[in-house]
Structure 1
Amino acid sequence: MTQQGGPERSVHELYRDDPERADALAWGRRGVLKGAALAAMGTALGGTIPFARQMPAGLLPAALAQGQGGPQFLEMEGKARLILQGERPLNAETPEHLLDDDVTPADKFFIRNNGSVPEAVADPRTWKITIDGEVNTPIELTLGDLERRFELVTRRLQMECGGNGRSGFSPQAAGNQWGNGAISCAEWTGVRLRDVLRAAGAKDSAKFTGHHGADSHLSAQGPAISRGMRIEKAMDEDTIIAIRMNGAPIPQMHGAPTRLMVPGWPGSLSQKWFTRIELRASPHSGRGMGGTSYRVPVRPIVPGSRNNGADFADLESMPVRCVLTSHAHGARLPTGTRALDLRGQAWAGDLTVSAVHVSVDFGATWQAMTVNPPPNRHAWQRWTGRVALPSDGYFEVWYRATDSNGRMQPHVAANWNPQGYGANPISRAAILVG
């Protein structure tokens, strides 16, 4: 192969050094991969491609999609080896294969910060939360008051960053390029937010909330983020003021001593280091509200175009998604492996997951997996199943979920928006046998 304006290199060398360029040249205009190009791709992948005839034209194999680069990893005491997304503020996602626990342990919980992490308080029980705005009786409660005055509930609740899946958008959207790992499902203990709002005497005029926390913006100019939601979500039985995570005090990195938990909606609503909630007659105007912040187009816009978000709507219930946890992307299996026992997690915001399907022949055929019901509303769901492999070689496991309203993950990220919210394309993991 000859690159325009550059030296001639063999197809093997090109796949080794520049897989995306090699892929474009190998496929050319005919959409058929064969001969030297097929052999070179197999060499780059480390094995033959049994389902090469089913590969969609122009598809860059998942094993080559990252090119020569790769993710950087976070090295932090008390945390698993997370994929580093940013250092100021600190953000890191959980590799999919580490999300195999039904209840996400604290060390595998993804990190999403918008500003500086506040210092820990000496006595968490004295931490104060204010409820004011459109209420009859503004009140201030310590964490001790919350435990003493209100019923404690414990629920497994999924929480997902609004930008989870952002790396699937083309052209690239602004922000951390999350894969699928900005998600968790820990077990949270706390009090229902609606019980506290009722104690303050929420007025009929209260239609929205505004959330406040102790974290400041990196510029030290104001809060890091201050979002709000419709009152209906605030009154949901699963929206809680959390005081414990997995039966233990909430780690400082994850919002200690107390945080909001607004499951199924963008994680930015689950205010960390929670200090105040105001009830409002109109939508909140804090940092992270309005324009294109946590908002998506009502009607599709041209990918890559500029937009002020005037016609956008707030992202609320998160779209359906699943992850593969039984096999890490890039896994190498012993020669002679002829079946894969697969498992993973799936979720769909306020909805449930009705189906998960898997393909190992580049989407030519799909096989239904078994999907367990959630242990409680807003918890993720375990899926399992077995698929057969015809031989050794390079395979891709493609996996997609369908929600209870019949909406399935799309083949490519849909509804492009400048800040990259709501992307949930079908995922694929590279597997090499032999």
Structure 2
Amino acid sequence: MARERALHELYAEDPERADALAFGRRGALKGPALAAMGAALGATIPFSAKMPAGLLPAALAQPAGAAPLLRMDGKAPLLLLGERPLVAETPEAMLDDDVTPVDKFFVRNNGQVPERFAGDPKSWRFRLDGEVDTPLDLTLGEMESRFEVVTLRLQMECGGNGRSAFVPETRGNQWGNGAISHGEWTGVRLRDVIRAAGPREGARFTAHFGADPHLSGDTSRQAINRGMPVAKAMEDTTLIAFRLNGQPIPQLHGYPLRMVTPGWPGSLSQKWLTRVMLRATPHDGPGMGGTSYRLPVRPIVPGSSTNGADFQDMTSMPVRGLLTSIAHGTRMPAGTRQIPLRGQAWAGDRTVRAVDVSTDFGASWTAMQVGAPPNRHAWQRWQGTVALPSDGYFEIWTRATDSEGRMQPHAAANWNPQGYGANAMARTAILVG
């Protein structure tokens, strides 16, 4: 006798057929389909009548603990997305600290991790040249003594954060929502160094260079070097940093010197920094042009091929909110009816105006309290409480809105072949009872 497949197995093998069987032509989840889905989830679904047609429950779509874990001294058990280059994501529930501990920082490399600098870190050399009157060749120690040293809490987020939400799947590491960290960075402002070099009238863009070897080992090739408009480089939160959370930057995260370009894709925060060049034209190094860290100016057909000729560079990262006090897949005691929530929200160059939470698949929303950022480009803490009507399976949807009214969408928008800029609202599955 043929074995009857469970609903979650059918979704894994044939999502379109699963939708047809579960929701039928009218999109109503009821009868045997509702019972089958409840059995797959291990609980009834109190708000099943409000569940959007065709929606796959987050507990089935995002199984908790499915990814292998990073096992490395000095790092928490992050979700391992790749080993060559090393890439690891921070689970959302590990992002509950106001300042992310170093061991919980996500990892994104493009090349090999270089050998640790064996000399006195203050002797590490950095050069600023190009479209300047007086090129500078400085040691870390000279920078620290010559320019004002500042400490700021700054967000750093991979441009591909949220990539796994795109349909169809795109190229690149399949990040959930955890390619984000919020550290306390200490360093000097890049603008102060640029001003000391005397930027010329034609200095409009930057190019950043680091000591990380190319994956191939070819010393003539750069792993990645990107650049940005000088206007971003001149902001008072763009740093050349040498300490993280009060200590020297760990080797894995750029020791002894790195750029921190908050609010924009993390690829602009060059690790193991050796040089910044000012240019009259946009940089053309690895990670620039085509579809690299660029978004369509006009929507394109999902899954289509493109050379990115009419794309534009990513700048400010989109608004995003996360629930960090409860892990995806949490089971709560029977009878739980009030749940205190807290989390983080950020919006690239903008601030977060509101965070709203839904437990009934978006049919209604509860406003959370959103705190002010301690400085520009820091994330914002939010908190509040939601009520549940009964035991069962629930999803906590988290939706942030930025200072200009932009709101997280229900699904990843503006599909692009390398999967940048996805900021679909977060969905956290819980079982009560």
**How high is the TM-score relative to the length of structure 1?**
0.96
2:76 to 80, 102, 110: 80
Deviation at 1:153, TM superposition (A): 0.2
Corresponding position of 1:18 = 10
Q: Distance in 2 between matches of 1:15 and 1:297?
A: 36
Q: Does residue 144 of the first structure (1) align with residue 114 of the second (2)? A: no
Cα pair distance change 1:300/1:398, threshold 3 Å: same
Say if 1:209 and 1:230, in contact at 8 Å, map to a contact too. yes
Q: Distance in 2 between matches of 1:24 and 1:314?
A: 40
1:62 to 25, 48, 58: 58
Unaligned runs of at least 5 residues, structure 1: 1-6
Q: Distance in 2 between matches of 1:355 and 1:67?
A: 28
Corresponding position of 1:165 = 162
Matches within 5 A, 1:307-322: 307-322=306-321
Say if 1:15 and 1:23, in contact at 8 Å, map to a contact too. no
Identity %: 69
Cα pair distance change 1:143/1:69, threshold 3 Å: closer
Matches within 5 A, 1:122-141: 122=118, 123-141=120-138
Q: Does residue 369 of the first structure (1) align with residue 352 of the second (2)? A: no
Q: Does residue 103 of the first structure (1) align with residue 99 of the second (2)? A: yes
Cα pair distance change 1:281/1:151, threshold 3 Å: same
**How high is the TM-score relative to the length of structure 2?**
0.96
Corresponding position of 2:387 = 388
Q: Which amino acid in the other structure matches residue 232 of structure 2?
A: K
1:296-355 Cα shifts (integer Å, max 9, x gaps): 000111111111011000000000001110110000000110011111000000000000
Q: Distance in 2 between matches of 1:24 and 1:273?
A: 52
Corresponding position of 1:266 = 265
Unaligned runs of at least 5 residues, structure 2: none
Q: Distance in 1 between matches of 2:204 and 2:170?
A: 32
Say if 2:64 and 2:329, in contact at 8 Å, map to a contact too. no
Deviation at 1:18, TM superposition (A): 3.3
Q: Distance in 2 between matches of 1:299 and 1:416?
A: 10
**Corresponding residue SS for 2:6:** helix
Cα pair distance change 1:432/1:68, threshold 3 Å: closer
Corresponding position of 1:275 = 274
Corresponding position of 2:413 = 414
1:220 to 217, 221, 224: 217
Say if 1:266 and 1:315, in contact at 8 Å, map to a contact too. yes
Q: Does residue 34 of the first structure (1) align with residue 30 of the second (2)? A: yes
Q: Distance in 1 between matches of 2:277 and 2:204?
A: 11
Q: Distance in 2 between matches of 1:43 and 1:56?
A: 19
Corresponding position of 1:116 = 112
CA RMSD of aligned residues (A): 1.3
Say if 1:17 and 1:68, in contact at 8 Å, map to a contact too. no
Q: Distance in 1 between matches of 2:184 and 2:56?
A: 39
Say if 2:8 and 2:60, in contact at 8 Å, map to a contact too. no
**Corresponding residue SS for 2:112:** coil
Corresponding position of 1:424 = 423
Structure 1, 62-71 or 420-429: larger mean CA deviation = 62-71
Q: Which amino acid in the other structure matches residue 39 of structure 1?
A: A
Cα pair distance change 1:16/1:228, threshold 3 Å: closer
Q: Which amino acid in the other structure matches residue 302 of structure 2?
A: P
Deviation at 1:66, TM superposition (A): 3.9
Matched positions, count = 426
Say if 2:212 and 2:222, in contact at 8 Å, map to a contact too. yes
